[in-house]
């Protein structure tokens, strides 16, 4: 009468009354005690080996005094503890960087692992939906290790089978608040493994002074500020195009003028030409002497200057065809950087339709064909919407400073950038705290990097232009 059911048989049915839920009596399998003991011993042994392998220094610090005290008495243990402390104390006091690199960050990572992440791992994973409860058992992603730097904790995680990076990127707020951090960023280490970055402090909270003008001419990546990890932020301008987006007062001028400062020696040597389009007449006019006759302000002058840049590009392409594929700056063929401040005024808000079409076509031509022949574009705008800037995807490298809306972050940096931690809409509008702070997404990496551009004051710009003119005269 009954068919055999999956996982049990019809004879184990408790009730077959109509309108009553079918209830199964689960089968109970008795596990021999020896198997349970073997499994427990194996897990204990493997856990000890793994703990020793991951935290040798912390274990040595804790176990060595105990072993010496048990073998030779408490006096020997006290001496064994006092001698290292007498060495570590002065080391930490007089040479803090090397002490942190060898000891400090490792001990902090061990403490954060035990007290913060391991203690809260199970509830945070289950409540955020990254863990699963199957057959009476919690299936959790595995935390592999915790590494501390001067400003953040980096947690390496092995995902559950079947999980995607988006599952974690959508829950960065859950992870940040669950582990007591202000934010969380998700990056891919390799297949199946993620790096979760939890900042402990903000190393970019203090404004940076203007970067010194380099002594040697170079068109390579120019230093314009500092990254969140403490390393200099070097912006590549030769061989690419850069789009800088940010609200009013976000610090777009700091990025532009810092890049100009880095290229001044090369411009003085004739290896770089700086062309400026300044429709607002407020930003680039301070250093007009740096640009010489390659400066345009009115829409018609901007269109003419862009057409001239297209002509230079096409002339070089004709000469380079079949001879070379990459541009090498020389005095005869210098690198041309076209700087456009508030590009949306020229591409969207320009009332003259003919000029608007000319400017848009010239920018599209330069951004699609210019970098191979040594013509780059550095453009800045406030509103990154498609109807305002329909060629934004032609810029390989993008910088998102403070933005007004969360949707604008993905418009500038690409889909999913905000989910991976690029919270450009959360940057403080207070100039001392947020001006120049932003996120960079490079063509070679999809992961956004938090940076801060150095502040270049009006006095710095005037001094820079004055020194540049004097250098040319010499």
Q: Which residues line the annotated binding site? A: 246-253
Give the whole-angstrom CA distance, residue 165 versus residue 56. Answer: 32
CA-CA distance, 370 to 334, in Å (whole number)?
13
- List of E strands, 20-107: none
Neighbouring residues of 274: CB distance < 8 A, sequence distance ≥ 6:
260, 263, 267, 290, 291, 294, 337, 339
219/226 Cα distance (integer angstroms): 19
Return the percent helix, strand and coil in the chain, to nearest 5: 45, 20, 35
Q: Which residues contact 242 (CB under 8 A, 6 or more apart)?
A: 235, 236, 376, 377, 378, 379, 395, 397, 398, 399
Contact yes or no for 228/451 (Cβ under 8 A): yes
| Bind-site residues for ATP | 246-253
Residue 155 φ/ψ, nearest 5 degrees: -105, 125
Q: Which residues fall within 8 angstroms of residue 37, CB to CB, at 6 or more apart?
A: none
């Amino acid at each position: 009468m009954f068919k055999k059911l999956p996982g049990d048989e019809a004879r184990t049915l408790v009730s077959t009354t109509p309108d009553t839920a079918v209830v199964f009596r689960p089968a109970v399998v008795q596990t021999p005690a020896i198997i349970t003991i073997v499994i427990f011993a194996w897990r204990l042994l493997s856990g000890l080996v793994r703990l020793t392998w991951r935290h040798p220094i912390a274990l040595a610090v804790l176990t060595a005094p105990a072993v010496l005290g048990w073998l030779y008495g408490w006096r020997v243990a006290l001496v064994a503890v006092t001698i290292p402390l007498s060495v570590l104390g002065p080391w930490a006091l007089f040479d803090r960087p090397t002490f942190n690199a060898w000891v400090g960050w490792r001990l902090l990572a061990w403490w954060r692992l035990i007290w913060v992440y391991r203690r809260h791992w199970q509830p945070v994973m289950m409540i955020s939906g990254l863990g699963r409860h199957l057959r009476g058992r919690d299936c959790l992603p595995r935390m592999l290790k915790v590494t501390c730097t001067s400003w953040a904790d980096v947690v390496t995680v092995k995902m559950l089978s079947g999980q995607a990076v988006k599952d974690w990127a959508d829950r960065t707020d859950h992870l940040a608040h669950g582990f007591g951090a202000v934010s969380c960023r998700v990056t891919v280490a390799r297949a199946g493994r993620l790096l979760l970055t939890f900042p402990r402090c903000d190393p970019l909270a203090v404004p940076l002074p203007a970067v010194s003008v380099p002594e040697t001419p170079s068109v390579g990546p120019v230093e314009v500020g500092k990254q969140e990890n403490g390393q200099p932020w070097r912006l590549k301008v030769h061989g690419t195009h850069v789009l800088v987006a940010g609200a009013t007062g976000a610090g777009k001028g700091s990025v532009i003028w810092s890049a100009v400062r880095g290229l001044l020696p090369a411009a003085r040597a004739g290896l770089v030409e700086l062309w400026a389009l300044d429709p607002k007449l407020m930003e680039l006019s301070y250093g007009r002497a740096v640009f010489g006759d390659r400066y345009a302000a009115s829409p018609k002058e901007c269109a003419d200057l862009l057409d001239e840049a297209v002509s230079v590009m096409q002339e070089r392409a004709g000469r380079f065809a079949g001879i070379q594929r990459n541009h090498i700056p020389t005095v005869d063929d210098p690198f041309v950087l076209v700087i456009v401040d508030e590009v949306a005024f020229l591409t969207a808000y320009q009332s003259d339709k003919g000029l608007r079409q000319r400017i848009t076509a010239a920018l599209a031509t330069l951004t699609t064909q210019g970098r191979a022949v040594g013509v780059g574009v550095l453009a800045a705008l406030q509103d990154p919407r498609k109807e305002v800037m329909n060629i934004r995807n032609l810029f390989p490298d993008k910088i998102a400073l403070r933005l007004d809306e969360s949707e604008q972050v993905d418009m500038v940096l690409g889909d999913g950038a905000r989910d991976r931690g690029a919270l450009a809409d959360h940057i403080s509008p207070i100039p001392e705290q947020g001006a120049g702070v932003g996120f960079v997404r490079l063509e070679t990496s999809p992961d956004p990097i938090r940076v801060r551009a150095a502040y270049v004051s009006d006095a710095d710009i005037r001094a820079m232009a004055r020194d540049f003119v004097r250098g040319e005269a010499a």
